[in-house]
């Protein structure tokens, strides 16, 4: 049978769109043709709730939604229903890592299973990384992932960013905000924690015609930014794009 033109693969799990025709037949065919796959699921709705979770239904294969995913020479354990993770952002994580200079102290908000912290730690000369995640299950996977990757320069914090950040008594050379839906609400906190020459990576969702003006407007409400670059990270929906604004504060 004809397979769908695209589907996501996280570790050994293939994830089909809810629009896939004959999903069970497709699932069996995928398991037969791709030996690296152990489970095939189908999405049953959009990302929901404050943890940005995605509901899925197992169609074929092992009855498990926990897997090991590898990218950029890093290894990540996760459960696809209990945590937020997008393998489509691997190139963006690599881009950020390549910008980091020796000795930088970095803050990563909304760090999930520690994908950004571990990628930056392994692929850059960063000195120390602080990472904050509100989802307790994602935080637990993050702790496991630090051990899996033998990471020693990452400090993990579990809790709401707005409550954790005031307790961290230091400022940072670089702040990463990979939560496009809500990052603007935490920009003021990020700016207060930025060293004078530091850089913020602010993620946002925008329509194509509003890139980058609408995102930059949000930043200008709080500071005078020096825009370093605008990066279209990918298409989130037919009319929305994920965009990253890299900027310094004048």
Angle subtended at Cα 236 by Cα 16 and Cα 241, rounded to the nearest 5 degrees: 160
Asked if 126 and 225 sit in the same domain, the reply is: yes
In the prediction, which pLDDT does 30 show? Answer: 96
Distance (Å, whole) CA 164 – CA 223: 22
- 238 assigned to some structural domain: yes
* Whether pLDDT at 2 is above 80: no
Asked if 138 and 239 sit in the same domain, the reply is: yes
* Whether pLDDT at 206 is above 70: yes
Asked if 114 and 228 sit in the same domain, the reply is: yes
Asked if 146 and 59 sit in the same domain, the reply is: no
Percent of the chain with pLDDT over 70: 100
- 220 assigned to some structural domain: yes
* Whether pLDDT at 182 is above 90: yes
Asked if 30 and 136 sit in the same domain, the reply is: no
Residue-by-residue DSSP string for the chain: -PPPS--EEETTEEEE-TT-SSHHHHHHHHHHH-TT--EEEEE-S--BTTTTB--EEEEEE-S--EEEEEETTEEEEEETTTS---GGGHHHHHHHHHHPPTT-EEEESS-TTTHHHHHHHHHS--SEEEEEE--HHHHHHHHHHHHHTT--SEEEEES-HHHHGGG----EEEEEE--TTTGGGGHHHHHHTEEEEEEEEEEEEE-GGGTTHHHHHHHHTT--EEEEEEEEEEEEETTEEEEEEEEEE-
* Whether pLDDT at 66 is above 70: yes
Asked if 145 and 185 sit in the same domain, the reply is: yes
- 23 assigned to some structural domain: yes
Asked if 97 and 190 sit in the same domain, the reply is: yes
* Whether pLDDT at 238 is above 90: no
Asked if 58 and 133 sit in the same domain, the reply is: no
Structural domain span for residue 42: 8-64
Asked if 128 and 24 sit in the same domain, the reply is: no
**pLDDT tens digit sequence for 3-19:** 777 899 999 999 999 98
* Whether pLDDT at 1 is above 70: no
* Whether pLDDT at 168 is above 80: yes
In the prediction, which pLDDT does 33 show? Answer: 93
Tell me how many domains the chain contains: 2
**pLDDT tens digit sequence for 134-152:** 999 999 999 999 999 999 9
- 171 assigned to some structural domain: yes
Mean predicted lDDT score pLDDT of the chain: 96
In the prediction, which pLDDT does 45 show? Answer: 84
Mean pLDDT on 28-34: 95
- 191 assigned to some structural domain: yes
Percent of the chain with pLDDT over 90: 92
Domain of 54: which CATH number?
Answer: 3.30.300.110
Asked if 103 and 161 sit in the same domain, the reply is: yes
Asked if 59 and 93 sit in the same domain, the reply is: no
Give the residue from 229, 217, 194 showing the smallest Cα distance to 96.
229
Mean pLDDT on 156-165: 98
- 78 assigned to some structural domain: no
- 73 assigned to some structural domain: no
Domain of 103: which CATH number?
Answer: 3.40.50.150
- 14 assigned to some structural domain: yes
**pLDDT tens digit sequence for 82-103:** 999 999 999 999 999 999 999 9
Asked if 55 and 101 sit in the same domain, the reply is: no
């Amino acid at each position: 049978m004809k397979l769908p033109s695209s589907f996501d693969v996280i570790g050994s799990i293939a994830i089909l769109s809810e629009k896939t025709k004959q999903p069970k037949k497709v699932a069996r065919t995928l398991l037969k043709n791709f030996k690296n796959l152990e489970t095939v699921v189908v999405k049953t709705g959009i990302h929901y709730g404050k943890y940005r979770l995605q509901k899925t239904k197992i169609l074929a294969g092992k009855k498990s939604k926990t897997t090991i995913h590898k990218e950029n020479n890093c290894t990540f354990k996760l459960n696809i229903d209990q945590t937020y993770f997008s393998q489509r952002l691997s190139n963006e994580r690599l881009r950020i890592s390549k910008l980091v200079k020796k000795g930088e102290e970095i803050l990563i908000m909304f760090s999930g299973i520690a994908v950004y912290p571990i990628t930056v730690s392994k692929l850059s000369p960063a000195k120390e990384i602080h990472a904050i995640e509100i989802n307790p299950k994602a935080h637990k996977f993050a702790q496991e992932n630090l051990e899996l990757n033998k990471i020693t320069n990452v400090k993990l914090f579990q809790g709401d960013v707005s409550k954790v950040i005031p307790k961290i008594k230091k400022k940072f050379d670089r702040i990463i905000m990979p939560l496009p839906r809500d990052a603007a609400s935490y920009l003021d906190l990020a700016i207060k924690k930025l060293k004078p020459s530091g850089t913020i990576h602010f993620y946002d969702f925008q329509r194509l015609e509003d890139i980058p003006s609408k995102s930059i407007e949000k930043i200008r409400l709080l500071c005078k930014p020096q825009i370093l670059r605008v990066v279209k990270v990918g298409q989130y929906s037919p009319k929305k794009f994920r965009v990253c604004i890299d900027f310094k504060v004048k």
